[in-house]
Chain A
Amino acid sequence: MGHDTIVIPALQAVQEKFGFIPEDALEEIGRVAGMSANLVYGVASFYSQFRFVKPGEHVIKLCLGTACHVCGASGILESLERELGIVDGQTTADTKFSLESVRCFGSCALAPVMVVDDDVYGSVTPAKAKEILDRYR
């Protein structure tokens, strides 16, 4: 059992604190784990949880799981992209919003599901998504 095991928990702790993984953190985690920053980045970039750019003030997560897809989530994504003028994975120029699609929160009974920061919204429609967005503007 080497020091490798600390890599993922350390990345998670860094992201919890800063909202993303800054380059210095890759160096530092590598130093403690005894591996190059490149290798740490190789692990980090494999997992979809880790971001490498600072997220916006509000993070919008839209579920694209199966139940949400069947209940119309792709139309909601388009509606959000159009409203914010960004595409999935980007942050608005004023750093107010980040938009991320995720694959299943496990709240499928309330599909389609949209999460803004820690607030969960169920049975969302394209029009409802816009109304929800307006509350955070």
Chain B
Amino acid sequence: MNGATRFLRRIAPQLAILAGILVLISVFFPGFFEVRIANGRLYGSPIDILNRGAPVALLAIGMTLVIATRGIDLSVGALMAICGATAAWGSTQGYGLPAILALSVSAGLVCGLWNGILVAVLRIQPIVATLILMVAGRGIAQLITEGAILTFNQESLIFIGSGSILTAPTPVVIWMIAGMIVTLVVRRSALGMLIEAIGVNLRASTLAGVNSRVLLIAVYMASGLCASLAGVIAAADIRGADANNAGLWLELDAILAVVIGGTSLLGGRFSIVASLIGALIIQAMNTGILLSGFPPEFNLVIKALIVLTILILQSPATRTAAVFFRRQPRPDPADTRTVTQ
């Protein structure tokens, strides 16, 4: 089996789920797949999914790396608020776009460094370590915006949220390029393997000479970097920084995207592409539910039911049952785990 078939086989379930949801929506809403070009920009529901899904997709890239090390980053939603507020503040101070982006990205990296030090050096459990910034982050963002919604009119910054590059909305271009760069970096270097190794067995990897401390800090910084891009996009989209609501609960959507993407919360094997498809699945559900005209009070319940169905389909118990019904003994990941204990 070569690399390409292996890759396709890995993302096949996620692609199938995404296709299923899109088909389901188009049944309820026949004009769903229509895409048109107006004012040099693509419009239509599929484009909308790609565009609206940008923040979660970006967060999912960093979250995948963190979860692969058996960690979790709860602070990314709050980081979006911090970085969005930083960008808005930069704009009101009259900085140019490069300076604004540099400020926001630095803020994201510093927050990621903080998380990384708590996890890798002080050995605090990731869920607790990142909870600190999750709670404190919105306070920090409010300090930056001085409690108000900080609005701006800088065209270059607004372009990040609602402009288009070669007819594609800018946020879509940003998350796709970010996804490609990170995938290439981790798979063309040894980072991917080393991250998976420390995720499966931190102690054994450290004993093999892997610099696990630096790697752990790096993945949290990568997560912070992704959150800063998502934060700038969210702020640029509404032309202002809302410290209270920017990125609210998106850390949970990002974790869900990674889980739907099939990366285990127990760390180890990961696929960024599968997580990105997971993010699109979540956004397709959001958009689909809105479009299909269900009363809004049903939205969250329907979303929960769809997520539940996906997770049941992916659960080891279901896989075992499937193998049982096919009467084809085949080692599955659950077996692997019992053997390695």
Q: Do A and B bind each other?
A: no
